[in-house]
Structure 1
Amino acid sequence: MPDLLPPTRWALGGARNTGYGERFADLIAQGEDVVGEGRLADALVGRGARILDAGSGMGRIGGYLHACGHRVTAAEPDATLVAQSRRTYPGLTVVPHEILALTPEALTGAGVPTEYDLVVCVGNVLAFLAEGTEVAVLERLGSLLAPGGRILAGFHLRGGPATARSYPPDEFAADVTAAGLRVDHRFGGYDLRPVDDQYAVWVLARG
């Protein structure tokens, strides 16, 4: 049951999260490029793919992928960001759930797929999970993959948000394995730059 889930680091951040959605809205209004993650996600699937944007925030990546013609389900538990997403991207389907609440029953009840060709989990979402739930979250994301499906994930290694955890690459890779997944690729950015110690982009699949 969603009410029994432990609070995420994002939820515990409270007022310190204020301004996140507005900052991206301002960048979009200024014509800034805020969809690098979306371009890589689009390249990983064929046309009209089923994509889950897990931890979709204000909708910038899910909205982009929807505009590319994919069938996108955006999942976001923060009510303020859900409202902003629905205002900004009215064609995007948003379900107000955190990742561990994305059960087949919840997805079916929302009228969205229960299997996805690609799960997108970017923007430090994995560094904002509730303490000790990392493997369970990765297991849940893996359970939502269609045959041949993949997960695109990314988070800061240094210089990330103050309320996010540090998630060392070796620890993340161990959690991936524990969740029954494997690392197919790791990069230093969504432009596929070489691995560095600032940011990590991962492409995962079922082990």
Structure 2
Amino acid sequence: MPHRPTRWELAGDHTREFGERLARLVAEGADVDGEARLADVLVPRGARVLDVGSGMGRVAATLQSRGHRVTAVEPDPALVEQSRRTYPGLAVTQADILEVDLEPGYDLVVLVGNVMAFLAEGTEREVLGRVRALLGPGGRVLVGMHQRGGPDHARRYPPEELEADALACGLDVDLRAGSYELHPPGPDYSVWVLSPVGP
């Protein structure tokens, strides 16, 4: 199947601002670990974690530093290079989640930082289905993205639409919140914890 360009790829040079902004925040000592803190409490020590769209590596590196066995996958070569410079101890695979060969059995798959809103058009269910197939027993999925105020090149992905797509792929909503600190759902940002439907 030919490669389908993601919304991230189609945004071109605008995506450079993302890595530069996060690099500044990290250099300034800002708290950029909200996603990783929540991910950490969702799994036992030494869990297998897959970070899809790992970006500059901040979430994956933090989880690795807390003793988890992390697989980081990022398709953007510039972000992969930035990740390797910033976190040299973190192995990152440059690949699209629909094209990379991975062994199932993950305790947690992380899809944060608007990853679901940057996918290639029409591939949302493919990605969620792939993620579902990669989970081990008791595995869960952490998703987070803007509902408004996000990047211009990201799609608008209403909560009810994502939840319908997840259910169609065998994933149910365990939790929906408005932040990684588990504030109530709001209009600006959504966080979900998903798990496989039924026994």
Shorter-chain TM-score: which interval? over 0.9
Correspondence list, 1:141-160, <5 A: 141-160=131-150
Q: Which is further off, 193-202 or 90-99?
A: 90-99
2:53 counterpart of 1:66: no
Residue of structure 2 in register with 1:196 after alignment? 186
Residue of structure 2 in register with 1:110 after alignment? none
Residue of structure 1 in register with 2:82 after alignment? 84
Q: 1:80, CA displacement in angstroms?
A: 0.5
2:156 counterpart of 1:170: no
2:127 counterpart of 1:137: yes
Residue of structure 2 in register with 1:31 after alignment? 29
Contact 2:104–2:133 (CA under 8 A) maintained in structure 1: no
Tell me the TM-score normalized by structure 2: 0.96
Q: 1:99, CA displacement in angstroms?
A: 1.5
Secondary structure of 1:149's aligned partner:
strand
Root-mean-square deviation (CA, aligned residues, Å) is 1.0
Equivalences, count = 197
Q: 1:114, CA displacement in angstroms?
A: 3.1
Q: 1:117, CA displacement in angstroms?
A: 0.4
Residue of structure 2 in register with 1:22 after alignment? 20
2:123 counterpart of 1:125: no
Q: 1:101, CA displacement in angstroms?
A: 1.4
Tell me the TM-score normalized by structure 1: 0.93
Give the aligned residue type for 2:180.
Answer: Y
Give the aligned residue type for 1:205.
Answer: S
Secondary structure of 1:163's aligned partner:
coil
**5+ residue gaps, structure 1:** 108-112
Q: 1:19, CA displacement in angstroms?
A: 1.9
2:14 and 2:33 map into 1 onto residues whose CA distance is: 24
2:17 and 2:146 map into 1 onto residues whose CA distance is: 19
Secondary structure of 1:81's aligned partner:
helix
Q: 1:89, CA displacement in angstroms?
A: 1.0
Residue of structure 2 in register with 1:186 after alignment? 176
2:41 and 2:117 map into 1 onto residues whose CA distance is: 24
Give the aligned residue type for 2:66.
Answer: C
